[in-house]
């Protein structure tokens, strides 16, 4: 996807990839001249299932106080695909999916254009257990 974006804009583009694993991804993205940046809501640090959701609630209530420079300074937000619907043991609306929705929501709060790439098709058997 990064190569396609660079090709489309004739390499006249700055790309930042926001990820929970931004520290681990730095060397990988540096090779492509892309920055790896931390997410606004880091779900890896708060320990405990309930604490992660409360942290998210605080992020929503006080979104104007969050470090959102990467989003605010962006022209376009692309949400890459992934298995977020089933990112936790509880299935749909697990913390990973809620986290993705939060970042999309905050992007729209700052009136940013958002493009959603296809997300993973869920296993329908989950719904019929």
Burial class (CB in 10 A: 0-12, 13-18, 19+), 65: exposed
Residue 127: per-residue pLDDT:
47
Tens of pLDDT, residue by residue over 50-91, are: 777 777 787 777 767 777 888 999 998 888 766 565 556 666
88 and 108 fall within a common domain:
yes
Q: What is the pTM of this model?
A: 0.72
**Structural domain total, the chain:** 2
15 and 59 fall within a common domain:
no
Parent domain of 1: 1-38
Q: Are 102 and 60 in contact (CB under 8 A)?
A: yes
Burial class (CB in 10 A: 0-12, 13-18, 19+), 107: buried
Q: Are 81 and 120 in contact (CB under 8 A)?
A: yes
3 and 57 fall within a common domain:
no
Residue 125 has pLDDT above 60, yes or no: no
Give the list of residues 6+ apart from residue 7 with CB closer than 8 angstroms, or none: none
- Average pLDDT over the chain reads 79
Cα angle: 59, vertex 91, 24; to 5 degrees? 60
Residue 92 has pLDDT above 80, yes or no: no
Residue 119 has pLDDT above 60, yes or no: no
8 and 68 fall within a common domain:
no
52 and 15 fall within a common domain:
no
Q: Are 40 and 71 in contact (CB under 8 A)?
A: yes
């Amino acid at each position: 996807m990064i190569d396609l974006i660079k090709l489309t804009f004739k390499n006249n583009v700055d790309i930042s990839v926001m990820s929970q694993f931004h520290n681990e991804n730095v060397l990988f993205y540096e090779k492509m001249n892309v920055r790896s940046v931390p997410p606004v809501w880091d779900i890896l640090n708060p320990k405990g299932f309930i604490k992660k959701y409360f942290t998210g609630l605080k992020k929503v209530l006080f979104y104007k106080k969050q470090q959102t420079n990467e989003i605010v300074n962006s022209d376009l937000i692309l949400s890459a695909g992934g298995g977020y619907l089933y990112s936790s043991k509880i299935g749909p609306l697990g913390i990973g999916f809620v986290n993705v929705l939060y970042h999309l929501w905050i992007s729209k709060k700052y009136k940013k254009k958002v493009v959603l790439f296809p997300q993973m098709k869920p296993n329908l058997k989950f719904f019929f257990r």
